[in-house]
Amino acid sequence: MSNAYQATLEWARAQDAADPLRAFRDEFLIPPHDGRASHYFCGNSLGLQPRAVREALTAELDDWGALAVEGHFKGRQPWLDYHEYVRDDLAELVGALPSEVVAMNTLGVNLHLMMVSFYRPTPDRHAILIEAGAFPTDRYAVESQIRFHGFSPTLSLIELEPDEPNGTLSMGAIERALAEHGERIALVLLPGVQYRTGQAFDLKAITGLAHRQGCTVGFDLAHAVGNLPLRLHDSGADFAVWCSYKYLNSGPGAVAGAFVHDRHARTEHLPRFAGWWGHDKQSRFRMGPEFVPTPGADGWQISNPPILSLAPLRVSLQIFHRAGMARLREKSLRLTGYLEWLVQTQLADVLESVTPRETERRGSQLSLRVLGGRERGRALFEYLMEHGVVGDWREPDVIRISPAPLYNRFEDCVGFAEAVRAWAHRPA
């Protein structure tokens, strides 16, 4: 495969025709626009619906209708163990042992539950380190946890300011912050991929640095899971959380995920907020008064699993299993590389990417700053949306565009570039 990109539709179509993953696009519903498929670049916000989801949901509705309570045992996929059906594919996707992952709740809830166990502040060590400009939920969650333990965010929240020109963070800055404040940091909580800049972080390097300072480490993988190949077990992180409606295509409000490193699998002394589904599976239905946690991530479950939310996740993870994260990443590198090349060579008078250029420091998303300020940016964004090019807007002047290798094409990137050019050259 040649890396010499060309800006023409013919060239893009030839790439799509030669793409070994091209058949996966047909497994998704692509939202239409004016009688053709839209150029959908918003899979980092809400992934597209796999066609097979409808049938999977209908099967559960049918079992509910025909079997009611007996569906727990006699359904085609008995509901009792339903969360276990996604476990192997989920573990494969994030590079974990099957016992280290669980699908449950939603991202923000899982973040809180993980902090209940892994943010254990003491008078000497009570701070949480996050990046400045973190996603609101993450900041709110961290602040509220600090207050919950009777500490004050003024003293206990450390927000790492970007040290690179486009608002990204160098490893050097993380290293310096840990060297300077490490002794008072209880928890380091960073993203796998930062939602605003698209910067990807080196989870293993960060974990190594933080553990050397005695800090616990958690990652929010909302924008990393299904986007980058992950090796969570080897990273050594204590925990991680993610949602499933972005790159994982499991539908709005889909059931989220959590990772708890194997070294914590049997630490029964860790405080946790418990519920019956986290109880040891063998004796759960004796309904005894004493909580005995299931070893591993399953032990953090509270409620019985949401079948109608797990069914789409299951379909989606099977797609990832068949496509393979390594092959998806290979395509993603070329596709996002092409988009970046188009921006640099064809659109440099309109847009500039603030996402790191080094491919190991980004996933599929490019965050494109519109030159000339917010008003101009909003006008371009609205024009794109009206013309079937779907991205999203982040204040004050960034359009996020994320080609997802499961369903986006080189042709979509050309469609984006043509729409931007048409806007820039429109008659006044």
Ligand X SMILES: *Cc1c(COP(=O)(O)O)cnc(C)c1O
* Binding site, annotated residues for pyridoxal 5'-phosphate: 107, 135-138, 220, 223, 245, 276, 304
β-bridge mates for residue 216, sequence order: 187
Does residue 137 bind ligand X (CB under 6 A)? yes
Closest to ligand X by CB, 245 vs 423, is 245
Q: Which is nearer to ligand X, 5 or 245 (CB)?
A: 245
Judged by beta carbon, residue 241 or residue 342, the one nearer ligand X is 241
Residue 199's beta-bridge partner residues? 362
CB of 310 to ligand X, least distance (A): 16
Closest CA to 367 of 198, 246, 224, 166: 198
Is residue 138 a contact residue for ligand X (CB under 6 A)? yes
How far apart (Å, rounded) are the C-alpha atoms in residues 220 and 256?
11
**Cβ at position 218, least distance to ligand X in Å:** 12
Q: Please tell me the count of residues contacting ligand X according to CB under 6 A.
A: 12
Helix (H, G, I), strand (E, B) or coil at 195: coil
Which residue type, as a one-letter code, is found at position 204?
K
- Is 108 a binding residue for ligand X by CB under 6 A? The answer is yes
Tell the smallest beta-carbon distance from residue 104 to ligand X (Å): 12
Q: Of 16 and 143, which CB lies nearer to ligand X in the complex structure?
A: 143
Residues of this chain, 236-265, that bind ligand X according to CB under 6 A: 243
Determine which residue in the list 79, 85, 118, 195 makes contact with ligand X, applying CB under 6 A: 195
How far, CA to CA in Å, does 201 sit from each of 39, 62, 167, 358?
28, 44, 14, 12
Q: How many CB atoms lie within 10 A of CB 37?
A: 17
Q: Which of 191, 198, 226, 377 binds ligand X (CB under 6 A)?
A: 191
User: Of the two residues 222 and 380, which places its CB atom closer to ligand X in the complex?
Assistant: 222
Q: Which residues contact 54 (CB under 8 A, 6 or more apart)?
A: none
Buried b / exposed e over 64-95, threshold 16 CB at 10 Å, is: eeebeeebbeebebebbebbebbbebbbbbbb
Q: Considering the rule CB under 6 A, would residue 312 count as an interface residue with ligand X?
A: no
**How far from each other are the two terminal CA atoms of the chain, in whole angstroms?**
42
Q: What is the rounded CA–CA span in Å between residue 282 and residue 300?
A: 16
Q: Does 106 bind ligand X (CB under 6 A)?
A: yes
364 contacts 405 by C-beta, under 8 angstroms: yes
* Contact in structure between 127 and 158 (CB atoms under 8 Å): yes
When binding is defined by CB under 6 A, the residue of 107, 206, 225, 413 that contacts ligand X is: 107
131 interacts with ligand X by CB under 6 A: no
Question: Among residues 135 and 423, whose Cβ is nearest to ligand X?
Answer: 135
Residue ranges in 218-237 that form contacts with ligand X under rule CB under 6 A: 220, 222-223
| Piece of the chain touching ligand X by CB under 6 A; list 133-141, 209-217, 334-342, 387-395 | 133-141
**Least CB distance from residue 119 to ligand X, whole Å?**
16
Q: Which is nearer to ligand X, 243 or 420 (CB)?
A: 243
- Are 354 and 398 in contact by the 8 Å Cβ rule? The answer is yes
Which chain residues interact with ligand X by CB under 6 A?
106-108, 135, 137-138, 191, 195, 220, 222-223, 243
